[in-house]
Amino acid sequence: MPEVLIDGPAGRLEARYQESKAAAAPVAVVLHPHPLHGGAMNNKVTYTLFRCFSELGFTVLRFNFRG
């Protein structure tokens, strides 16, 4: 799963991207919970959702919000 840096007006966002092998695969963007509640891109729920969508053939992206 490649690490991706997304450039934005306030800086870069760290992300992980997994592209499906299927040509017309659905896309899932997995967002983490609020940081005050343990949210981050590597949160176990966020990671599990990312992996499950990938195993189902989705192209998947997860990233850390700034702040």
**Residue 16's pLDDT is what?**
96
**Residue 67's pLDDT is what?**
58
**Beta strands across the sheet bearing 3-8:** 3-8, 11-18, 59-63, 27-30
Residue ranges of the domains in the chain?
Answer: 3-63
pLDDT of the chain, 67 residues: tens digit per residue:
689 999 988 889 999 999 999 999 999 999 999 888 888 999 999 999 999 999 999 999 999 987 5
- Classify residue 13 by burial, with Cβ atoms within 10 Å: 0-12, 13-18, 19+: middle
**DSSP assignment letter at 35:** G
Q: Is 42 in a helix, a strand, or coil? A: coil
Q: Whose CA is closest to 46, among 58, 63, 59?
A: 63
**Residue 36's pLDDT is what?**
87
The reported pTM is 0.85
